[in-house]
Structure formats: structure tokens, C-alpha cells
Amino acid sequence: MYRRLFFSLAVASALCLSACSSSELPDGMTDQSGISQPDISKSDEEEIPDTKWSVEMNSYNKKLTTAKCSDSENAADFTSLTVDAEPGDCIAFDNVKFNDAKCLMLEAAISENSNDKRINLYVDEVVDANKIGTMITNSRAKVNDLDFNEQYADLEKTVNGVHRLIFSFEDKIQLEADWFKLTSYSGSETEEEHNERMKWWRDAKFGQFIHFGAYSYLGGEYMDKKAGWYSEWIMDSLRISKKDYAENATALFNPENFNAKKIVSDAKAAGQKYIIITSRHHEGLSIFDSKIRNFKDYCLLNSDCCPLYKGGDILKELVEECKKEGIHFGVYTTIMDWHDPSQTGLNNNAIAEGYTKQEYKAQLKGQLKELIEDYGVEVFFFDGEWVGWWTAEDGKELYRYILSLNENCIVNNRVGKRRSSDGDYGTPEQEIPVTGLNYDWESCVTMNNSWGYKKGDDS
């Protein structure tokens, strides 16, 4: 069944702007399924702790946790829990809010000898009537690898309210657990659910696409040479090394005059309904306060990386202004990263020796989680997916990951390989298909000849 056709003009800005506490469970009644329900008088507004296995949350209780656990910093966000469990061991978390969840997603690195192991999930206590699902571990690790990826378990029963969630290990297992999330997205959606998710985007029609990064400082020129193509590709077109680019572009980038209020105000006045900005382009610079592995070392808020910049988080400022003015917010982000040490070079087709694709993907996913949870991103415009090491299956994996974190997110088809079946919408670039397309699409067209700011580009 074909979906309606929609057109959104994404305008490039020519400016580019120079597991468990020992507290008692809630009192409640037991329904016919045997799952304890919370007291209906319990306030829905009561703050519920986040559900992370991490050092900073410290949410597991050592007295009630029978598995051997220790804090570690192996995950992409530097917070994880090393678990060495024997059959029958448990780890429990109190005050977990279920909200009709359909699936549990666990971000973890499973040891090579712990593949296809069973982790049973219970609420409140380990009895058959309270079992809600089973997770079968999926390890991608080789010897001594710590490759984090998602472990999913569909929930067999509908659970509402706040409960203790128990992970009970049926088999001997070793893993590094970063965090888990209960989600209403189980890997698929009905046509009705899909149409509801896409409704605001289809109605919006018109948005703004901002390319902004260290390339904006260069303006398409470097050492008396001019970029022959798009200015944001100058690192590639002039073959600038990672070291030289970091020293002569990124370190000099100082967007002190970035004015989020004016950007959003102008967008609203123009009738634009959403804004997409480059959170990280191919050059590798994150323009927000990322805390993820290699990305944190090469971001605008890192004084060692951008020593001239003394301002705040411009992405956060833009988000807040969008909220005030009722403008939807999204980000461009890249699969390919010319700066990351895992990448062999410009337009690379292989992961560098000593690194794994899964390791880089874990970092990418960590940053996407930041963007969803800390910045409220509604739309992801991926790019750089043409590199040889990225596959359509990688795209499907990333798509499910995003919707598991927020089932309302919208993702373009460059998350995969730009096929009509990838993501939620197609992305014809610098053209408007004469007859349209038989699926949702958005045409991104720059006002000038370059997406990023380019001196003398006044077409």
C-alpha cells in the first residue's frame, strides 16, 4: 500500500552562523495473572528513578544481588556493570515504571562463551506466575572483545504501574551491562501506528536545514586553496589530514555569535515547521556536549578541542527556543566520521586495524541516546552511509534501536542504504521528483551551491 506524497524543503543556511534497593514494594492487589499491581492512590507524578546499570546510578543493591557485580568503565558512556552470574543468581531493580511496555532492551556486551544463554525476567518476585519474559543472549564478541549491542526480550504479559524488575540468570553468564529500557516498540508497528507517528511530519511540509561546523570557519578556503565542491567537504576535497584539520580549523572555530533565538524566530516567520541542524558532520566535530568515548574529546564544548569558544551548548539553546516557538527539532548525524580513529581515512571503506565496527557503532548509539534523552530530538537525518563497511542490516539495527528509545522518532532512509524500505522517508537531494515518489519523501535543496558557508557563494 502506497503512502501519501509529501514535500519538505530543507533550506541550508547560507550564513551557517559566523538493580535494586531494599525498599518495600508498593502495597497492592494481585490480579488474575498473578502480577502485583501498584496502589492506585500512588501519584503518577512521583519521580521514578531511571533504569540504568551504571556507576552513577548505583541502583543495584549489593545485599539482594546474588550475582557477582563490579563497577567498570567499559561502555561507550564510561558507566557499566560487570556481571559474573551462576545459574539461579538474580539482580533486581526497584521502582521500575512499566507503562504497558512490550519489550525490554538491554545494552550489554556478552562474552564469547556466554552466547545463547537465558535470562528470565520477573516482576516483584521469582515465581512462575510473575515471569514476564525471557532474554536469549546474542554475543558478537571475539576473544577479549567488549562489543556492546542490544539484547531484546519481548514481554509475555502486560504490566502496568511501578514494580520490582528481576533479572534471573538461568545459565552461567558473563556480561558487561550498561543500561536497560522498557519500551512500547517491539520491532514493528501497525499501519495505523505508523501513520500516527508520521502525521506531524507529513503536515509540516516545510523545514530548515542548517549545516554548521568547523568548516563554517574555513568558508571553503584553506591555505590559499579553495574547496572545489561543497564547503563542508573541504577536509576531503583538499585532502587535509586529521591533525592539520583539528589544529587549523576545529581549534579556531568560535561560534560566539550563534543566536538560537533569531534562528528559530526567522524560521517561524518564514512558515517553517521544523529545524534540522548538523549535530556531527563528516569532519567528526560534535557541536554539542557529548559525553561518549572519542566523541567527547572532539566536541565544541571541550576546551582542548575548541579553546576559543567560551559559550554554552548551542544545540541545547536551539532546542529550548524550538520548544518555546512550537517548532519541531531534529538533527543531521553521520555514519562516516573522518576524525574518529576507527576510520581509515576519507570516504573510508574499511574499519582501521585494531578497531571493530561494533565498537564504533556502540559509540554512535551512545551519542544517539544522548540526543534523544537530553535534547529531545524528534527527527534523525543520517548521512555518510555509502561507506563499504556500513550495511542495510546495520541500518535496520540502528532504526530499531532509535525507536526503542523513543517510538515517536522519525528517521530518514540514509540510516540504511537509501532504499525505499529503509527508515521512514526518502531523501532526494537538490531536486524535486517530477512525479513524486510512491512513499514518504523530503527534498533537501540548498539556497546556494554549498550546504555549509562558503565565501563568495552568492548564487
Strand, coil or helix: what is 114? helix
Residue reference for cell 510512491? 438
In tens, the pLDDT along 23-73 reads: 332 333 233 233 333 332 233 434 444 455 443 334 445 556 888 888 889
When mean pLDDT is compared across 41-45, 92-96, 368-372, 439-443, the lowest value belongs to 41-45
**One domain, residues 215 and 174:** no
**One domain, residues 366 and 279:** yes
Relative orientation angle of helices 314-325 and 260-269, to the nearest 10 degrees? 40
Instruction: Write the CB contacts of 459 (distance below 8 Å, at least 6 apart in sequence).
Output: 448, 449
Is 51 among the domain residues? no
The proportion of the chain whose per-residue pLDDT surpasses 90, expressed as a percent, equals 73
Beta 162-169 vs 90-97: how paired, if at all? antiparallel
**One domain, residues 112 and 244:** no
Instruction: Write the CB contacts of 415 (distance below 8 Å, at least 6 apart in sequence).
Output: 380, 382, 385, 395, 398, 399, 402, 422, 423
Is 23 among the domain residues? no
**One domain, residues 201 and 144:** no
Is 312 among the domain residues? yes
Residue reference for cell 540504511? 416
**One domain, residues 231 and 158:** no
Q: How confident is the model at residue 457 (pLDDT cuts 50, 70, 90)?
A: confident
Residue reference for cell 517491539? 186
CATH code for the domain in which residue 133 is found: 2.60.120.260
**One domain, residues 157 and 303:** no
**One domain, residues 323 and 423:** yes
Better-predicted residue by pLDDT, 216 or 354: 216
Strand, coil or helix: what is 299? strand
Q: What is residue 40's predicted lDDT score, i.e. its pLDDT? A: 24
**One domain, residues 228 and 252:** yes
Listed residue (338, 339, 318) closest to 327, CA to CA:
318
Domain ranges, residue 414: 191-446
**One domain, residues 145 and 206:** no
Asked which of 183, 216, 238 is the last residue of a domain, the reply is 183
In angstroms, the CA 399 to CA 425 distance is 12
Strand, coil or helix: what is 327? coil
In tens, the pLDDT along 110-149 reads: 988 899 999 999 999 999 999 999 999 998 766 557 789 9
Tell me the average pLDDT of the chain. 86
- pTM to 2 decimals? 0.88
In tens, the pLDDT along 229-286 reads: 899 999 999 999 999 999 999 999 999 999 999 999 999 999 999 999 999 999 999 9
Q: What is residue 60's predicted lDDT score, i.e. its pLDDT? A: 47
325 to each of 231, 268, 274, 316, how far by Cα in Å? 31, 7, 10, 14
Is 346 among the domain residues? yes
Burial of 311 (0-12, 13-18, 19+ CB in 10 A): middle
Q: What is residue 51's predicted lDDT score, i.e. its pLDDT? A: 53
Instruction: Write the CB contacts of 239 (distance below 8 Å, at least 6 apart in sequence).
Output: 346
CATH code for the domain in which residue 404 is found: 3.20.20.80
Please check whether residue 212 is in contact with residue 452, taking contact to mean a CB–CB distance below 8 angstroms.
Answer: yes
Q: What is residue 144's predicted lDDT score, i.e. its pLDDT? A: 59
Cα dihedral 434, 437, 210, 266 sign:
positive
Asked which of 165, 183, 201 is the last residue of a domain, the reply is 183
On the question of pLDDT at 2 being above 90, the answer is no
DSSP annotation of 425 reads: B
118: which 3 cell numbers?
A: 537465558
Beta 149-154 vs 80-85: how paired, if at all? unpaired
On the question of pLDDT at 14 being above 80, the answer is no
Q: How many domains does the chain have?
A: 2
On the question of pLDDT at 335 being above 60, the answer is yes
Q: What is residue 24's predicted lDDT score, i.e. its pLDDT? A: 32
The proportion of the chain whose per-residue pLDDT surpasses 70, expressed as a percent, equals 85
**One domain, residues 168 and 197:** no
Asked which of 142, 162, 183 is the last residue of a domain, the reply is 183
Better-predicted residue by pLDDT, 222 or 24: 222
In angstroms, the CA 131 to CA 125 distance is 9
Listed residue (276, 155, 299) closest to 213, CA to CA:
299
Better-predicted residue by pLDDT, 52 or 393: 393
